[in-house]
Structures are given as structure tokens and as C-alpha cells.
Structure 1
Amino acid sequence: MTQASATDSNAPVGTAGSDRATGASIVSRLVETLRASWPAIALIVIIVAAWQAISAAGLVETYVLPSPWSIVHEMVADFDLYWRASLPTLTAILLGFAISVLIALPIAIGMVYSPLLQRAIYPLLVLSQVVPKVALAPLFIIWFGFGTPPKIFMVVLIAFFPLVVDAVVGFQAARPESLMLVRSMGASRWQAFWKVRFPWALPSIFAGAKVAITLAVVGAVVAEFVGADQGLGVVITQARGNLDTVAVFAGIGFLSIIGLILFACVSIIERVLVRGSRSGRSFEAAGSL
């Protein structure tokens, strides 16, 4: 009873200590990230400062290249307009990206386990990327009308290719000795996939996901440029027709922010899921069998 009471009394202290350690780890990671990113931040600051100086000196007409300050002022002043326009674009991006993941991973798995399927599908995947996406966008408008569906299809068409390619590379990069080890311990091919191939492929999958999420933004905007009734692409198109360069840059700024946030979200998920070395995960998984 005395030992149990001591253990119970120490549990909250251990939990608090764990929470403090977790918070310190997060802060240290943020500091390391900022320390590693300072050259890029410094370069951006220099470019923006030079841009502002050129605009303030009147070296370039405002309708050609507005100042960064006027663009930021436009984004803040009409925040509600750009935010409402961002929601349809963001919805198409997220839905298209999710569908791309659901399509790409099964295709990649089939290509890894079936050479015949790989020889049949891979040329079609390459062909889907060779065809100009802008040329296909009007067809999506004809088939699905104006609205969200054509944007989703455009996002899927652009985003799923890097997911498939990088997933196949990751699945095929699993160490043969790790696979033989788990198979020798009585694991099925499906168990070997989940215990070895999938953890090993996660870095490659997320590398493709980072590329895909940025391309998803491009796909949604391309569809909105060709034909849509709402979205940031529509706002940019209307501003271009009115020769409102400040509004065009403001729309581009919102698109850039959306892209950066989505990229950061994928990176955070990657850090949570991808832990330890691939070899360590493989042999730990083999031992768990």
C-alpha cells in the first residue's frame, strides 16, 4: 500500500515534468527552425525593402508594380473580401489533395507488387502530365459546369502524379534484408508491408505530398482562371480586367499565404509521423512480430 501510494503521488509530478519537457522541445525546435531559416528571411527582407524603395522613388509606375506597403494595406482593408474568396479555393485544394492521396497510394502499392500493372499504368501517368492542364480545364468546365467539381478534378490531375512517383520510390527502397527478416518470422506480405515498407516509405511519401500540396494550389487557381463563379482566381481575374494591379498582387499574396500554411501543415504531420531512422523502425517492427 505504501509503495502504491508513493507511485500515485509521483504520477502528477512526472506528468508535469513530461509536459515541461515537451514544451521545451517545441520551443527548441522553433528556435532551431528560425536559426536555420535566417538566410532566407534576410533575403526576403532585402528584396521587399528594395522593392519598397524603388516604388517610393517613383522608378516604376504604380499600375505596373505597386509598393509592398500598398499591397499589404489592400489585403488588410479588404480582408473580408479576400477571405470569403479564399474559402472556395481552399475547399477545392483540400478536397482535391485528399482525393489525390486516396488515389495515389493504392496505385503506388499496386505498381510495387505487380510489375505488369506498373508497366501498364506508368506510361499513362506520364501522359497525364505531358498534356497541358490549361488545355484540359475548359473540358472540365463543359463536363462539370462552373463551381467546385472542375477545380477538384484539376487539383487531382496535377497533384496525384508526384504522390504516386514518390510513394513507389519509397516502397521500393525498403531494405530486402528487413523484408526477409519479417517474412522469416512468419509475417504475411501484408504484414511486411505495414511493418517495413510503409514506415520506410513515409519520408518519400511526404516529400511527394509537399510537392503535391503546392501544385494543388496551382491547379485550383488555373481552373478558376479558365472559368469559375467564385474563388481567389476569380477575384484576380476581375482585378486584372479592371487594371487594378494592387488587387491582383493582394490576391496573389493570399494564395501564397494559403500555400505556405498548407506546406507547413504537411511538414508538421511529417515530423509527427516520421520518427527515428528507417532502419531502426524496420528492425523494431520486425522485433514486434
Structure 2
Amino acid sequence: MIIIVGSINLDLIASVDRLPEPGETVRGSGFATAPGGKGANQALAAALAGAPVRMVGAVGKDSFAAEALALLKSGNVDLSGVGESAASTGTALILVGADGENVIAVVPGANDSVLPGDIAKAFLKKGDVVLLQHEIPLQTVEAALDAARAAGAVSVLNTAPFRAEAAGFFAKSDFAVANETEFDLYAAALSLSGPDRQARMRDYAQKTGRTIVVTLGGDGVLAAAPDHFLTVPALKIIPVDTVGAGDTFCGYFGAGLSSGLSLEQALVRAAAAGSLACLKPGAQPAIPLAKDVDTALAAR
């Protein structure tokens, strides 16, 4: 079972020819809403990868809640751990440029009401894979890491968005996943040594005995384990929208670990899924099916 303790949002997405500079207004060319939130995105990705998934989180009592949960329901994600809050359902306001790049502002809303006591809804057991992110209170993330360790579960911490105060429990995760910018910021916060990113990744793995995974967008993925270093390429694509690609990677990565794949095999599959997620607009609507990932890997 894959357990996600994390955020559930509704994404409000505007398409623009180019992203605005500070203080500038640009004309939009389209608008859409789609279910999102890093936790929910990763839950759906893991489910579409073929894993059984339970979601622990919260939504509001507003009109956004049903739409925010719609694709999780259709993906057969267990939502028994999703509570209802007096706060509004979390929202993400997203601008997507013609080149596929984006800027995002997140309003947590009900996600801030996901507290350490809610981890009991996860029913953690040995062999589970627990996926976590930083869009819920950090004390809940840390408590979930501790609960996963106590239960004998495997923990995967997606360290996004960057929050400097999270550096103190970063290494409690069995696998930490960061993009290149986030890792560089955490490397500074953790005083990691080395002349370049790869050296600092190796330093992290040696100091903590844990594995660090760094995603590089179109340049693929790096991973440093205590005893080896891996480089995995991304698929060659022309991106339409990069929103949710990292979450797709994390969900597929967790599903790969849960199914018994080696670290390298899980990374290869997750990297392919993350690349395919860039070919459609939106976060959850763009997550590929397992058969599409299989086809893409076979065609490489």
C-alpha cells in the first residue's frame, strides 16, 4: 500500500504567451480548473502506476472540494483518510507560458488543518511506502516520517516547496526527492561539502546513510545512495506544460519501490512518467497511464 499524507488543491490555471515581469500585466489566452495539490497529484500518479493508494489530507466544505477530489475518486484512491475543514479547499493559482514554464502561488486553506493526529488515519504497517511533501504543516510531515520508521514503512519525502526549517528532519526520510534548485538550497542549509552538486549529493548520502534523488527537468535524474551513484536520462520531448511533472515522478517512484523494483529501475520508470506528464496541460489530467509509460520506455 502507498500512503500519501499531503495536500489537496484545486488548480486555477491561466495560459499566457509569456510569464509577466514583476508589476506587469499580460493578456491570457485560456483558463481552466483542474484537481491538484502535491499530495493529491502524487496519490493519483501512484494509482495510475498500478499501486493501491490511501490518501490522508483535508478539503473545505466549499464548492471546490468535489472537483479537487474527482480524479482521485475515479482513480480508486482510498479517501477514507480525507477530512473536512472549516477552511477553504486549498488552491493553486498557476500561470503557464507558451514555452511550458510556469509560476505558481499556493493558498493552503484546509491543508493547514492536516495535523499529526491525522496520521492515525493512515493505518501504517510494515512494507508500506509513505509519500510526503511540504504543503501541509511541517510538524505533521516530521511526525509522519517518525511514524513510518516506527511501523517499518519506507518513507519518500518530496522536499517541495523549499522550506529552510525542514532541513532539520530532511534525513529522517529513506528517500529524499528534490529538484536541482531545492537541493542546492538544502545543501547550503545542511552545510554539505563538495565542489559541485554531485559531490554534495554524495556527501549527504555518506553522512546520513540515506538516498537523495535530484530531478533535473529535461536533463534527467541524479541519485546518490550510500554505496553508489546513478544518472538516469529523461525522455526527449517538447514540453507543453511542466506543471505536475515532479509529482508524477514521485508517485511513479513510490509505486516502483512498492512493487519491488530496484532503485535504478524505479528511477527510470519515474523519469519516463515525469517526461510524459509534460505533454498535456494541467497536473492530474496530464499524468500518464502505466501502459503509456511502458510504451515510451520500449520505444527509447
How high is the TM-score relative to the length of structure 2? Answer: 0.19
Give the greater-gyration-radius structure (CA).
1
Whose helix fraction is larger, Structure 1's or Structure 2's?
A: 1
Q: What is the TM-score normalised by the length of structure 1? A: 0.20
